[in-house]
């Protein structure tokens, strides 16, 4: 028993550190955007395009590598995507202009988008059923740690050394990948059933939409789209929003650092209750909380109100992400599990393309923040409706 728990903890920690580096990149991007906007004299639309190109890469990566993981294994694909992401981040530190930067963001996004659903599938298949949901949420909590590191780098390093050094640090994750591969074990489900998991992509897609699984697929696609649309629309713009509300860039970094710390208790709360009240109710509670706090943040003006609403927004939104990553792989059988999770994440990344572009264009058009964040609040309530209509509770369900 003790040996098994040690292996599970080692798996979550090992995969979690890779997840931390992913979050560090996404978190730093929001801070980097706020700097290169002035350095390269970018319009609001051009700024929004950076986040959208990253999400396009994540959509491609989620679908491509999710399907590949059902053919060659979770471990191999996880390491491949980590390497793509790391080398792309390192190269982007030497970008000479806007075009080169967004081209590299497409490559980085492909690695990052492929890694996340494959990592959650690997962990989901590698732990006992009674700990499965909690383990995946705890894995997701490394995302908050990555955002925290990115905020610290942005607050203490970027003002003095610039944004390029931050990307060099992110690119160093390739070294971790070389170390990580030695201790990482393949999913026992894939190891046992891998010979059967050679289903062509379109046959896997057809199975996802058959009579047994179409409700789960419809629910996941709607929820993923709305969650990613709102998250990237809000969080990639967070430092810039603080500046537009009248705060200096360095102060916006400090406030975002405080709000980022609130992500950790959000994850831990979700991890605690997901095995007590189930996936559907946990995810719905955190999405409703995100909707309410998103609108509150859009309405806030004073320092205290911005920090309080921002912290609550971080608490609920990231807790919802943890529950969603736990819920997604549980919807499908082993031969299409990674493909199904990757497809849902890929559909979600389309929302990540639309969200930053929408915010950039609405700001350029003079639309106020209450309206912008109100749109995101409504989108999250649509996700809750999809869960209530099509969602199936999977707590305690044994994965094949």
In this prediction, residue 343 carries a pLDDT of 93
Are the beta carbons of 27 and 54 closer than 8 angstroms? no
- The single-letter DSSP state of residue 43 is -
CA distance 317 to 89: 26
**Mean pLDDT in residue range 190-197:** 64
Query: Is the dihedral angle over the CA atoms 52, 54, 56, 58 positive or is it negative?
Result: negative
Nearest C-alpha neighbor of 284 from the set 381, 352, 218, 351:
381
pLDDT over 80 (residue 300): yes
The answer, as to whether pTM is greater than 0.95, is: no
pLDDT over 70 (residue 296): yes
In this prediction, residue 251 carries a pLDDT of 55
CA atoms in the 13 A half-sphere facing the CB of 340: 27
Which pair of structure tokens corresponds to residue 79?
């390491």
241-288: pLDDT as tens digits? 767 766 665 555 666 677 778 888 988 899 889 989 999 999 999 999
CA distance 146 to 264: 11
- The single-letter DSSP state of residue 175 is H
The full set of domains in the chain, from first to last, is: 2-184+198-390 (1.20.1250.20)
pLDDT over 70 (residue 194): no
Within 8 A by CB and 6+ apart from 262, the residues are: 310, 311, 312, 314, 315
pLDDT over 90 (residue 218): yes
Instruction: Give residue for tokens 């730093």.
Output: 28
pLDDT over 90 (residue 289): yes
Are the beta carbons of 393 and 279 closer than 8 angstroms? yes
36-56: pLDDT as tens digits? 888 888 887 788 788 778 888
CA distance 328 to 344: 8
For residue 94, CA distances in Å to 169, 217, 321, 342, 348 come to: 13, 41, 32, 31, 30
In this prediction, residue 363 carries a pLDDT of 82
**Mean pLDDT in residue range 325-341:** 89
In this prediction, residue 357 carries a pLDDT of 80
pLDDT over 70 (residue 177): no
Burial of 195: CB neighbours in 10 Å, binned 0-12, 13-18, 19+: exposed
A 10 A CB-CB count for 291 gives 27
pLDDT over 60 (residue 197): no
**Mean pLDDT in residue range 225-229:** 95
**Mean pLDDT in residue range 384-398:** 88
**Mean pLDDT in residue range 101-112:** 92
| Contacts by 38-44, CB closer than 8 A, 24 or more apart | 40/97, 40/98, 42/98, 43/364, 44/360, 44/361, 44/363, 44/364
Which pair of structure tokens corresponds to residue 211?
């009579």
CA distance 128 to 131: 6
Share of the chain above pLDDT 90, in %: 28
pLDDT band at 210 (very low <50, low <70, confident <90, very high): very high
pLDDT over 80 (residue 350): yes
CA distance 199 to 193: 12
Which pair of structure tokens corresponds to residue 194?
């891998």
pLDDT over 80 (residue 193): no
CA distance 226 to 351: 7
For residue 304, CA distances in Å to 141, 264, 289, 320 come to: 26, 20, 19, 24
């Amino acid at each position: 028993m003790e040996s098994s728990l040690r292996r599970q903890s080692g798996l979550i920690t090992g995969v979690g550190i890779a997840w931390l580096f992913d979050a560090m990149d996404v978190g730093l991007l929001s801070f980097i955007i706020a700097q290169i906007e002035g350095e390269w004299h970018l319009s609001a639309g051009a700024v929004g395009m950076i986040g959208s190109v990253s999400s396009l890469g994540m959509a491609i990566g989620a679908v491509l590598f999710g399907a590949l993981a059902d053919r060659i294994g979770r471990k191999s694909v996880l390491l491949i995507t980590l390497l793509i992401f790391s080398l792309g981040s390192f190269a982007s530190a030497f970008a000479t202009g806007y075009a080169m930067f967004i081209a590299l963001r497409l490559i980085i996004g492909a690695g990052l988008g492929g890694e996340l659903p494959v990592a959650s599938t690997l962990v989901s298949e590698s732990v006992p059923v009674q700990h499965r949901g909690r383990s995946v949420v705890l894995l997701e909590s490394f995302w908050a740690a990555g955002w925290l590191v990115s905020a610290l780098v942005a607050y203490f390093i970027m003002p003095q050394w610039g944004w390029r050094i931050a990307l060099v640090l992110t690119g160093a994750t390739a070294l971790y990948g070389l170390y990580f591969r030695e201790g990482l074990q393949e999913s026992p489900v894939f190891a046992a059933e891998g010979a059967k998991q050679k289903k062509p992509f379109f046959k896997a897609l057809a199975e996802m939409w058959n009579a047994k699984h179409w409700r789960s697929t419809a629910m996941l696609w709607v929820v993923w789209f709305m969650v990613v649309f709102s998250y990237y629309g809000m969080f990639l713009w967070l430092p810039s929003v603080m500046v537009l509300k009248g705060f200096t860039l360095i102060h916006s970094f400090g406030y975002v650092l405080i709000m980022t710390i609130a992500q950790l208790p959000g994850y831990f709360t979700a991890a605690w209750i997901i095995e007590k009240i189930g996936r559907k109710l946990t995810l719905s509670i955190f999405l409703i909380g995100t909707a309410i706090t998103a609108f509150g943040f859009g309405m806030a003006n004073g320092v205290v109100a911005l920090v309080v609403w921002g912290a609550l927004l971080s608490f609920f939104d990231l807790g919802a992400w943890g529950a969603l990553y736990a819920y997604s792989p549980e919807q499908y059988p082993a031969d299409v599990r990674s493909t199904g999770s990757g497809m849902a994440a890929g559909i979600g990344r389309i929302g990540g393309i639309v969200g930053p572009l929408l915010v950039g264009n609405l700001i350029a058009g003079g639309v106020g923040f209450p309206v912008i964040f109100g749109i995101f609040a409504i989108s999250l309530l649509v996700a809750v409706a999809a869960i209530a209509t099509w969602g199936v509770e999977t707590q305690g369900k044994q994965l094949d």
